[in-house]
């Protein structure tokens, strides 16, 4: 290793960010060069049992078996065709009946650590994954005039993490908050606003008051038929463009958007667009017309519906795209939204985050869109309904307050910060209060966020303060603490982890602890790949947790600040890169990291 012109450690060889992806490509072309049937062989590269190497190509077995060939001989042919340079990167061997094992050479590990020395360089390494792809991510997307409660947090934090991850991996990300700002609830809201509102309460807590107004109006319609008529009349007036009702509708939307914003700010969430359902009002006729002309939609009991004869359920369960009273619904606006995102945003991929209960809606939406776009010769973007499970209380039932109401998100966040403040004060009473408050913000909000991200999003999970705030286990406090621990190693040595001088002259990893940690660091590329391919942030969480564990093992076994300059430099290099990958990873998940805690 030597220091390059820009002061970065630069290896004598260039090493790609995603070594595994390059290896897979190299094995595939070697197989072709060796004369294996094109298209019939896939390398099937896996992470190997660490005793045998880093990666294992298993594809030879199936290929040879199907052709009654000797798998070891086939593996030998592929090996012979591998470029010589690959053996500088890997130690290569054949094991068992014909597995090909690859072990990263210590010099490769060193080269990778030298090359990916900043968040910017990690990002440029990862950028090839989604370069040139435009993703529209529809997340959070709450309904107007309703409080945000605990259940809303999943879409927010998973959505934010997905946006950051995709952008880090090179995608152009368009973040769209598809607010539910149109619908029959506005009849009650407008009538209630006119007759039941309390201005002082509205000023103090708009969402609380709007929710109260809505509930009171709803109750009144049930006891008084005259109110029901009045509510209907308000809705009709709004839909036909009455100026007063439109102004009230705007006002109610503004009040609730403002209230949402304060939580978005606290959670560090932002959007490029907030195109709510109402934005599509003038784009619905085209949907009805085109789907009808395509023969996809037809009248059924006055409604416009789409059936999917090839589907076991949707051949009889209709996708209602216009209600029998002629009004639009969730399906109408979502179809128009698909078109807008494809044509206006030129999306290559669209991801919509909601809980799993909307699975049928999105399946029908996608089936319908596919046929519609095919019929009209439009380009079809990829689509993913990024769905998630529910948050449960410790009793295993939907999480609620003691009185049985949903827990407000703001109250949950406030409690998280308060609890974190008590913890920090207990651990580090010597820190000034302002700093303890700052740490509590990062730890408390980080803990709530991380608890959500660390679970496979498809599952429900049980929310427990004790678990999410624990300093042990796969939690935010544990990982944030791991970061500060590495920072303190540098602080005590009077060094800056980002300064190449601290790590100049580093030699390749040697001890088991050094080697295992270096291999884990190189694996960051693979985990980014997996996390973005499945849009499941828990893969990154698990990786960061394991990385922190490898670091602890290394740190317990190998003293960092030793006399021998090369050994000290390489251990500091491992510390610096662990810090970099931990901080980069946590920031991708939306957590704020700390210098001390
Ligand atoms: N407002 C909806 C809800 O609260 C979520 C909207 C998700 N986005 C969409 N394009 N359907 O359930």
Residues 466 and 563 grouped into a single domain: yes
Residues 437 and 559 grouped into a single domain: yes
Please give the distance, rounded to the nearest whole angstrom, from the Cα atom of residue 177 to the centre of ligand 1: 9
Give a yes or no: residue 596 inside a domain.
Answer: no
**Tokens 């909601």 identify what position?**
354
Residues 189 and 170 grouped into a single domain: no
Closest C-alpha among 186, 182, 286, 193 to residue 232: 186
Residues 372 and 520 grouped into a single domain: no
Give a yes or no: residue 353 inside a domain.
Answer: yes
For ligand 1, atom 5, name the residue with the nearest CA. 141
Q: Is 138 in the pocket of ligand 1 (CB under 6 A)?
A: yes
**Ligand 1 atom closest to residue 179's alpha carbon, by position in its atom list:** 1
Classify burial at 134, counting beta carbons within 10 Å of its beta carbon; exposed 0-12, middle 13-18, buried 19 or more. middle
Give a yes or no: residue 310 inside a domain.
Answer: yes
Helix (H, G, I), strand (E, B) or coil at 3: strand
pLDDT in the model for residue 496: 96
Cβ 370 vs Cβ 312: under 8 Å: no
For ligand 1, atom 7, name the residue with the nearest CA. 141
Mutation pick for ligand 1 pocket among 351, 353, 354 (CB with most ligand atoms within 8 Å): 354
Residues 236 and 102 grouped into a single domain: no
Q: What radius of gyration, in Å, describes the C-alpha atoms of the chain? A: 28
Alpha carbon 14 to chain centroid distance?
30
User: The domain that contains 486 carries what CATH number?
Assistant: 1.10.730.10
Identify the H or E element spanning 78.
Answer: helix 71-81
Q: Is 151 in the pocket of ligand 1 (CB under 6 A)?
A: no
HEC-encoded secondary structure of 464-518: CHHHHCCCCCCCHHHHHHHHHHHHHHHHHHCCCCCCHHHHCCCCCCCCHHHHHHH
User: The domain that contains 6 carries what CATH number?
Assistant: 3.30.1360.70
Given 112, 134, 156, the domain boundary residue is 112
Give a yes or no: residue 402 inside a domain.
Answer: no
Q: How many domains does the chain divide into?
A: 4
CB atoms within 10 A of CB 309: 7
pLDDT in the model for residue 14: 76
HEC-encoded secondary structure of 226-286: HHHHHHHHHHHHHHCCCHHHHHHHHHHHHHHHHHHHHHHHHHCCCCCECCCHHHHHHHHHH
Mutation pick for ligand 1 pocket among 144, 156, 180 (CB with most ligand atoms within 8 Å): 180
Q: Is 337 in the pocket of ligand 1 (CB under 6 A)?
A: yes
Please give the distance, rounded to the nearest whole angstrom, from the Cα atom of residue 314 to the centre of ligand 1: 21
Task: Name residues whose C-beta falls within 8 Å of residue 334's C-beta, 6 or more positions apart in sequence.
Answer: 361, 365
Q: Is 334 in the pocket of ligand 1 (CB under 6 A)?
A: yes
Alpha carbon 346 to chain centroid distance?
22
Give a yes or no: residue 594 inside a domain.
Answer: no
pLDDT in the model for residue 544: 98
Give a yes or no: residue 280 inside a domain.
Answer: yes
Given 216, 251, 267, the domain boundary residue is 267
Cβ 482 vs Cβ 582: under 8 Å: yes
From first to last of its 597 residues, the chain has per-residue pLDDT tens of 333 333 344 444 579 999 999 999 999 999 999 999 988 999 999 988 888 899 999 999 999 999 999 999 999 999 999 999 898 999 999 999 999 999 999 999 999 999 999 999 999 999 999 999 999 999 999 999 899 999 999 999 999 999 999 999 999 999 999 999 998 899 999 999 999 999 999 999 999 999 999 999 999 999 999 999 999 999 999 989 999 999 999 999 999 999 999 999 999 999 999 999 999 999 999 999 999 999 999 999 999 999 999 999 999 999 999 999 999 999 999 999 999 999 999 999 999 999 999 999 999 999 999 999 999 999 999 999 999 999 999 889 888 888 888 899 999 999 999 999 999 999 999 999 999 999 999 999 999 999 999 999 999 999 999 999 999 999 999 999 999 999 999 999 999 999 999 999 999 999 999 999 999 999 999 999 999 999 999 999 999 999 999 999 999 999 999 999 999 999 999 999 999 999 999 999 999 999 999
Residues 210 and 162 grouped into a single domain: no
User: The domain that contains 306 carries what CATH number?
Assistant: 3.40.50.620
Joined tokens for residue 488: 């303190």
pLDDT in the model for residue 12: 43
d(CA 169, CA 528): 8
Can you give the pTM of this predicted structure?
0.94
**Ligand 1 atom closest to residue 138's alpha carbon, by position in its atom list:** 8
Q: Is the dihedral of CA 316, 322, 323, 324 positive or negative?
A: negative
d(CA 56, CA 249): 61
**Ligand 1 atom closest to residue 361's alpha carbon, by position in its atom list:** 11
Residues 442 and 523 grouped into a single domain: yes
Domain coverage including residue 296 = 146-174+273-391
CB atoms within 10 A of CB 302: 10
Residues 239 and 281 grouped into a single domain: no
Residues 258 and 284 grouped into a single domain: no
**Ligand 1 atom closest to residue 337's alpha carbon, by position in its atom list:** 10
pLDDT in the model for residue 6: 39
pLDDT in the model for residue 403: 83
Q: Is 77 in the pocket of ligand 1 (CB under 6 A)?
A: no
Closest C-alpha among 246, 247, 252, 242 to residue 217: 252
Give a yes or no: residue 436 inside a domain.
Answer: yes
HEC-encoded secondary structure of 357-390: HHHHHHHHHHHHHHHHHHHCCCCCCEEEEEEECC
Residues 552 and 448 grouped into a single domain: yes
Given 89, 112, 135, the domain boundary residue is 112
Residues 453 and 327 grouped into a single domain: no
Give a yes or no: residue 140 inside a domain.
Answer: no
Residues 437 and 582 grouped into a single domain: yes
């Amino acid at each position: 290793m030597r220091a390059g012109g820009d002061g970065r450690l630069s290896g004598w060889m260039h090493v790609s960010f995603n070594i595994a992806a390059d290896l897979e490509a190299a094995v595939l072309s070697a197989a072709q060069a060796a004369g294996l049937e094109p298209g019939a062989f896939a390398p099937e590269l896996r992470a190997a049992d660490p005793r045998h190497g880093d990666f294992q190509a298993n594809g030879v077995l199936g290929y040879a078996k199907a052709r009654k060939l000797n798998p070891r001989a086939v593996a030998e042919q592929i090996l012979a065709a591998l470029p010589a340079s690959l053996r500088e990167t890997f130690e290569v061997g054949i094991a068992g009946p014909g597995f090909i094992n690859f072990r990263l050479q210590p010099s490769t590990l060193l080269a990778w650590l030298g090359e990916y020395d900043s968040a910017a360089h990690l990002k440029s390494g990862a950028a090839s994954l989604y370069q040139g792809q435009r993703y529209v991510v529809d997340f959070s997307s709450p309904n107007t005039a309703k409080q945000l409660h605990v259940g809303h947090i999943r879409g927010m934090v998973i959505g934010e993490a997905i946006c950051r991850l995709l952008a880090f991996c090179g995608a152009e990300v368009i973040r769209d908050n598809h607010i539910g700002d149109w619908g029959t609830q506005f009849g009650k809201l407008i009538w209630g606003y006119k007759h039941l509102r309390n201005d002082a309460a509205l000023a103090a807590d708009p969402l609380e008051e709007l929710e109260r107004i809505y509930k009171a109006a709803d109750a009144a319609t049930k006891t008084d038929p005259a109110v029901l008529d009045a509510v209907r009349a308000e809705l009709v007036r709004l839909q036909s463009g009455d100026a007063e009702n439109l102004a009230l509708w705007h006002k109610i939307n503004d009040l609730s958007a403002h209230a949402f914003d304060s939580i978005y700010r606290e959670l560090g969430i932002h959007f490029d667009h907030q195109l709510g359902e109402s934005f599509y009002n003038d784009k619905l006729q085209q949907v009805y017309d085109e789907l009808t002309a395509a023969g996809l939609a037809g009248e059924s009991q006055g409604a416009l519906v789409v059936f999917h004869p090839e589907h076991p359920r949707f051949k009889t369960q209709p996708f209602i795209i216009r209600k029998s009273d002629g009004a639009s619904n969730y399906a109408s606006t979502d179809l128009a939204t698909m078109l807008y995102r494809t044509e206006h945003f030129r999306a290559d991929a669209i991801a919509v985050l909601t809980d799993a209960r909307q699975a049928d809606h999105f399946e029908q939406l996608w089936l319908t869109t596919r046929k519609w776009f095919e019929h009209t010769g439009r380009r079809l973007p990829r689509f993913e309904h990024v769905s998630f499970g529910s948050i449960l209380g410790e009793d295993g039932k939907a999480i609620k307050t003691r009185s049985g109401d949903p827990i407000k998100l703001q109250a949950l966040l406030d409690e998280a910060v308060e609890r974190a403040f008590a913890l920090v004060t207990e651990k580090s009473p010597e820190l000034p209060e302002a700093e303890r408050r700052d740490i509590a913000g990062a730890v408390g909000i980080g803990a709530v966020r991380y608890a959500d991200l660390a679970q496979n999003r498809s599952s429900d999970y049980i929310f427990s303060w004790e678990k999410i705030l624990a300093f042990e286990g796969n939690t935010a406090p544990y990982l944030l603490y791991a970061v500060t621990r590495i920072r303190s190693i540098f602080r005590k040595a009077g060094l800056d982890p980002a300064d190449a001088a601290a790590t100049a002259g580093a030699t390749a990893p040697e001890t088991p602890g050094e080697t295992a940690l270096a291999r884990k660091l190189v694996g960051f590329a693979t985990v980014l790949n997996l996390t973005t391919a499945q849009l499941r942030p828990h893969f990154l969480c698990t990786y960061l947790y394991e990385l922190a564990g490898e670091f602890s093992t290394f740190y317990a076994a190998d003293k960092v600040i030793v006399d021998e300059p090369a050994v000290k430099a390489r251990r500091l290099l491992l510390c610096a890169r662990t810090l970099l990958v931990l901080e980069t990873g946590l920031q991708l998940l939306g957590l704020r990291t700390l210098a001390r805690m």
